Amino acid sequence: MDNALAQQQLKLMQAIANGDRRAFEQLYRLTSPHLFAVALRMLRHRAWAEEILHDCFVTVWSKAETYNAALSSPMTWLTHIVRNRCIDWLRSGQTRAAAREESYSEDILLSESDEPNSWHDDAQAARLRHCLEHLSHEQRQSITLAYYQGMSHSDIADWLQQPVGSVKSWIRRAMDHLRECVGL
């Protein structure tokens, strides 16, 4: 990640932990377009993604002091909060019922941009992509369905029409490979 950007986010996180609302708004302006895209990709439903973004930032305001700069960048921490809430949301029975009855909004256009965004370490991203290429097709597919779509083991099994046990072992083997390939 761009170092100046990382430093700016760290300063904002500290200010938010001290109750600075202007810093909170700045962090929102800086990070919400990326986080909204993450939520949209997982939920594929604009109203739900808005709800998640709202809930997550209210949480960020009250839990900012629990952020640990030694563990992750603010963006990684925020992304984790959003993904976590999306997973809870996807698990709720209400969502499943709605998903059956309503068609997903077709107007959600999520695109992969040609240029990498500035949130991530380019070298790290390149390395992960390189390591993903070494996975088997099933392993890579399972990892990406889980990460991008928020699918559980059984969702992936249904999607690929394969036994749950196979999906679990593909993911485990993929993790073993990534741990070695990307390194500690």
Partner 1 sequence: MNDAEKRDDMLAAEYALGTLRGGARLQFQKRLAAEPALAARAAYWQNMFSALDSHLAPVPPPETVWKRIVLDLPSTTPLRKSRPYIGWMAAASLAAVTVIAWYSTRTPELAPLMVLNDARQHGEWVVSADARREHLSITPLRPNAVAAQHSLQLWLIPDGQAPISLGLLHIAIPTRVTLRNTALTPDATIAISLEPEGGSPTGLPTGPVLYSGKI
Q: Which positions lie near partner 1, rule CB under 8 A?
A: 19, 21, 25, 28, 32-34, 36-38, 40-41, 49-50, 53-54, 57-58, 61-62, 68, 71-73, 75-76, 79-80, 83, 87, 91, 110-117, 119-122, 124-125, 127-129, 143-144, 146-148, 150-153, 171-172, 175, 178-179, 182, 184
State the minimum distance, in angstroms, from the CB of residue 35 to partner 1.
8
State the minimum distance, in angstroms, from the CB of residue 68 to partner 1.
8
Buried b (16+ CB within 10 A) or exposed e, 137-147: ebbebbbebbe
Q: How far apart are CA 57 and CA 34, in angstroms?
A: 13
Q: How far is CA 157 from the centre of its chain?
A: 21
State the minimum distance, in angstroms, from the CB of residue 100 to partner 1.
20
State the minimum distance, in angstroms, from the CB of residue 39 to partner 1.
9
Q: How far apart are CA 176 and CA 168, in angstroms?
A: 12
Stated as kind and residue range, the H or E segment containing 145 is helix 137-149
**Rg (alpha carbons) of the chain, rounded to whole number:** 18
